[in-house]
Amino acid sequence: MRLATWNVNSLKARLPRVEEFLGYADVDVLCMQETKLTDEAFPHLAFAALGYETVHHGQGRWNGVAIASRVGLDDVAVGFGDDLDDPYPGEARLVAATCGGVSFVNLYVPNGREVDSDFYVRKLAWLTTMQEWLDAKHSRADSVAVVGDYNVAPADIDVWDSAAFIGSTHVTPAERERIRALEEWGLTDAFRLVFPDDDRLYTFWDYRSGDFHKHHGMRIDLVMVSAPLARA
DNA sequence: ATGGTTGATGTTCAA
């Protein structure tokens, strides 16, 4: 099983790049976030032409999550369902499906904007609710991969300069505690399993200040896997 | 430089 996660920041704008990636990356499952599409506008045929089934949970201008799989796509679920109170109601931030015997959960975690803002408080609540949803849906003994744009850097090693993030979201103890809670539930940060001590390896660079060219990055897109997958 | 740039249902919002 080979998987990838990608915040595409508009699938309409990024589709040629996504098609290019699928052409060489040899992934079985691709989880995408920020498609910024309605369900009606999702380009299912473009993925089918490359051999991938797709499911999309979108709302239009913002958010939107999708899974493309060439190893089957079953048991689709979107959102937290009726039994849980969504701190970001109406926003398309979770889609789940079984692909090749693995339960995939694809997340676009709220950004949080400013520490202690209403958006930040609801980001923390969203992560707590997501774990409640996960616990209701899955056992830690299942093969489950909870992947996506977490908008949290799990540790200082995951940002280019921890001093530069003092007072910022993505690195606060409360946000990191939500990642720890998922680990206590039974998930493992797959990247850290493979690269336990490597720094300067990131998944996101802000495009507003030439951060990519200065390698001012953060590792905020995560692949969290249960024990049966972590052992594999 | 409370900056910078990208994308969308854009003359504003979210990131």
pLDDT tens digit sequence for A56-65: 999 999 999 9
Distance CA A131, CA A126 (A): 9
Question: pLDDT by residue (tens digit) across A59-101?
Answer: 999 999 999 999 999 999 999 999 999 999 999 999 999 999 9
Mean of the per-residue pLDDT values of chain A: 97
How far from A193 is each of A2, A27, A44, A158, CA to CA, in Å? 16, 20, 34, 14
| pLDDT, position A92 | 98
Q: Looking at residues A164-179, what average pLDDT do you find?
A: 97
Residue A101 domain boundaries: 3-230
DSSP-derived letter for residue A12 is H
Q: Please name every residue paired with A2 in a beta bridge, in sequence order, or none if there are none.
A: none
| pLDDT, position A208 | 87
Spanning CA of A39 to C1' of B10, the rounded length in angstroms is: 21
- Minimum CA–C1' distance nucleotide for A149: B15
| Nucleotide B8: closest residue by CA–C1' | A61
Q: Which two tokens stand for residue A35?
A: 């498609």
State chain A's maximal CA–CA distance in angstroms.
46
CATH of the domain at A223: 3.60.10.10
- Minimum CA–C1' distance nucleotide for A88: B14
The domain total for chain A is 1
Q: Is residue A232 over pLDDT 80?
A: no
Confidence band for A26, pLDDT divided at 50, 70 and 90: very high
Q: Which string of DSSP letters, residue by residue, matches A131-191? A: HHHHHHH--TTS-EEEEEE----SSGGGBS-GGGGTT-TTS-HHHHHHHHHHHHHT-EEHH
Distance CA A213, CA A220 (A): 18
Q: Which two tokens stand for residue A185?
A: 């539930």
- Minimum CA–C1' distance nucleotide for A61: B8
| Nucleotide B6: closest residue by CA–C1' | A207
Question: pLDDT by residue (tens digit) across A188-206?
Answer: 999 999 999 999 999 999 9
Query: What is the share, in percent, of chain A residues with pLDDT greater than 90?
Result: 97
